[in-house]
């Protein structure tokens, strides 16, 4: 499956988002936007106004990762702001099937995310309806954490469940050094925040991440 890189904006410089996005956009496949509400996760990031603002400076695909307790009430606002893919957590209290239907009815791609300790079978009933699964490789809430190894066991199980044509994204603690391990297990969409935006040269970091991801896939 095609390797896709999705830098997480959470690690960019918030005083110059437009500049950071323009610097990286030709070297990556989508932009990963981490939305946190202080309820589903113990942190607050940004919401639709920021996404609408950066939509004005780039045409790159916006991959919106909703770490929020009540996605159902906000999905439409994210679509209006410019989201192309909307990922909701299976652990969120809102009805997952309803969220999926709403995102699809608005003409957008759907992802389902699961935390490192959520059993893969909890998403099984939805796999025919979705475009992407997001296996968290850290517990969501903060950038810059170390990868939780427990999550790796889920990757081959999910790949088997979704088949070869659905994207399998991994997110959290990913760098050139460990990225090949994830693609060898079956992941094909790589999120990296610290590993791209906090590196001395984000473009070089993105090129190296892609190289490592492709090498892992061939291994
Ligand atoms: C964690 C977020 C991740 C995170 C990735 O809650 O979903 O996208 O920002 O950042 P790094 O690559 O720094 O772990
Ligand atoms: Zn994320």
Distance 155 CA to ligand 1 centre (A): 18
Catalytic residue list: 34, 171
Q: Out of 3.30.9.10, 3.20.20.70, 3.10.310.10, 3.40.50.920, select the CATH number for domain 4-218.
A: 3.20.20.70
Q: Output the residue whose Cα is nearest ligand 1's atom 4.
A: 143
pLDDT of residue 143: 97
User: Model pTM greater than 0.95?
Assistant: yes
Distance 48 CA to ligand 1 centre (A): 19
Domain ranges of the chain: 4-218
Q: What pLDDT, on the 0 to 100 scale, is given for residue 219?
A: 83
Euclidean distance between CA atoms 54 and 66, whole angstroms: 17
Q: Which of 138, 173, 187, 206 to mutate to test the pocket of ligand 1 (most atoms within 8 A of CB)?
A: 138
Cβ–ligand 1 distance for 6 under 6 Å, the answer no
Q: Model confidence over 13-47: pLDDT tens digits? A: 999 999 999 999 999 999 999 999 999 999 999 99
Read off the pLDDT of residues 97-113 as tens digits, 9 standing for 90 and up. 999 999 999 999 999 99
Predicted confidence at residue 37, as pLDDT, reads 98
Question: If we measure between CA atoms, which residue out of 139, 134, 99 comes closest to residue 116?
Answer: 139
How far apart are the CA of 75 and the centre of ligand 2, in A?
A: 16
For 168-217, the pLDDT digits (tens) are: 999 999 999 999 999 999 999 999 999 999 999 999 999 999 999 999 99
Confidence label for 68 from pLDDT (cuts 50, 70 and 90) = very high
Separation of alpha carbons 113 and 45, rounded Å: 18
């Amino acid at each position: 499956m095609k390797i896709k890189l999705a830098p997480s904006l959470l690690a960019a410089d918030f005083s110059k988002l437009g500049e950071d996005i323009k610097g990286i956009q030709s070297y990556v496949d989508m932009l990963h936007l981490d939305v946190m509400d202080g309820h589903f996760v113990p942190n607050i990031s940004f919401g639709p106004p920021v996404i609408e603002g950066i939509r004005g400076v780039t045409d790159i695909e916006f991959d919106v990762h909703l770490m929020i307790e009540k996605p159902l009430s906000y999905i439409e606002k994210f679509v209006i702001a410019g989201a192309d893919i909307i990922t909701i957590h299976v652990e969120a209290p809102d009805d997952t099937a309803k969220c999926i239907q709403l995102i699809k009815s608005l003409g957008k791609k759907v992802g389902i995310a699961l935390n490192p300790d959520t059993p893969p079978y909890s998403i099984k009933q939805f796999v025919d309806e979705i475009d992407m699964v997001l296996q968290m490789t850290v517990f969501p809430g903060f950038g810059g954490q170390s990868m939780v190894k427990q999550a790796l066991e889920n990757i081959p199980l999910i790949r088997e469940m979704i088949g070869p044509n659905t994207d399998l994204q991994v997110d959290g603690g990913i760098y050139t050094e460990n990225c090949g391990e994830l693609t060898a297990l079956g992941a094909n969409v790589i999120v990296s925040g610290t590993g791209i935006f906090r590196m001395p040269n984000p473009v070089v970091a993105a090129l190296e991440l892609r190289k490592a991801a492709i090498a892992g896939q061939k291994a």
